[in-house]
Amino acid sequence: MKERQRLALAMIMAIGVGFGESGLLEAQDQQQLFTKSAELMGVQFRISLYADNEKQAESACNLAFARIAELESKLSNYQDDSELNRLCRSDTPVVVSDDLWFVLKQSLFYWELSDGAFDVTIGRVTRLWRRARRLRELPGKARIKEEVQFVGSHYLELNLEKQMVTISKPGLLIDLGAIGKGYAADQALEVLRAQGLPSSVINASGDVLFGDAPPGKKGWPAAVVGLNPEADPLLLELQANCAIATSGSAYQHLEVDGKRYSHIIDPRSGLALEGRSSVSVLAPTGLESDALASAISVLGPKIGSKLVRQLPSTEFFAVFQRNSRKPAVDYRSAGFPLKYKK
């Protein structure tokens, strides 16, 4: 099970949005709150929305899930016949769909912004470390060095006029796991808006996208937690029309000879981060918060803070414990919307 799937209701959540046997949660201002879930992109997507009736809510949710399934067929690195994997296997330039084009362009933006701390060409390295966690042993230094040679977004050549992508390094693998779910949530919300249901929340197993506020309210309840998902969450101010994503290593990690290695990999070195961390980013869209949470996890809080200050309407909260002999330290940008600040 993926990290964010395990943290779905702990790392980031819309508090107070629960489940009912019929899907009906509460009634307010002649609209009712419904919820519906689906397993897509390897995680659980949960939609909560206000609608006039259950039929309207279910129809809209099904359309949103269909859009996410469509994106999965394009962006997945697990589906052998996905558009992304077909691109990675091609030794010639490929004209790609609007969706894959947009995500790749945004990926290059965050690669440049983070000086390589965010890099979707990390596919071979993440595959190597997934195997290491299964076997409970570190990958060899020589093997890491070998796979890192296939990492680098400068190997992606985008022809802006023809919407064409060329991979100049044969064997390179793209992994959109740190940006794809956020984009899928953005697109699902657009579907709900088109159906006249803007008061919605989409929880992509820990990456939460908030639409318009519930009827008669200022926003949706939300919270974050730090390194311990069992601890009481930190309440946030009510949220609307923004996204919060968390990248953390509370569950998915590797311990060897007393050292803890995160599932989060530094693309520049191919090495897993040591210690524990949890980074939550608030941003205007799911794609932005998704990518930035991963980037700041690698960059650390000081450089991450400088990065966030370059971006409008973007804030972060992070907890880092790089060494088990030292206490965890909290960091947050000045505008991160904690309800009760320390």
What is the C-alpha separation between 67 and 72, in angstroms, rounded? 9
In terms of pLDDT, which residue wins out, 254 or 322?
Answer: 322
Q: Could you report the per-residue pLDDT of 161-170, keeping only the tens digit for each? A: 999 999 999 9
Which of 104-118, 220-234, 315-329 is predicted most confidently? 104-118
The mean pLDDT value for 35-40 works out to 97
The residue type found at 118 is: F
Q: Could you report the per-residue pLDDT of 99-109, keeping only the tens digit for each? A: 999 999 999 99
Q: Could you report the per-residue pLDDT of 212-229, keeping only the tens digit for each? A: 999 999 999 999 887 876
* The two three-digit tokens of residue 62, written as one number: 């099904």
User: What pLDDT score does 21 carry?
Assistant: 35
pTM for the complete prediction? 0.90
The mean pLDDT value for 318-338 works out to 88
* The two three-digit tokens of residue 16, written as one number: 């107070």
User: What pLDDT score does 290 carry?
Assistant: 97
Within 10 Å of residue 273's Cβ, how many Cβ atoms?
A: 21
Q: Are 106 and 153 in contact (CB under 8 A)?
A: no
Mean pLDDT score across all residues of the chain: 88
Residue 206's pLDDT band (cuts 50, 70, 90): confident
User: What pLDDT score does 276 carry?
Assistant: 84
User: Helices 286-299 & 180-194, crossing angle to 10 degrees?
Assistant: 160
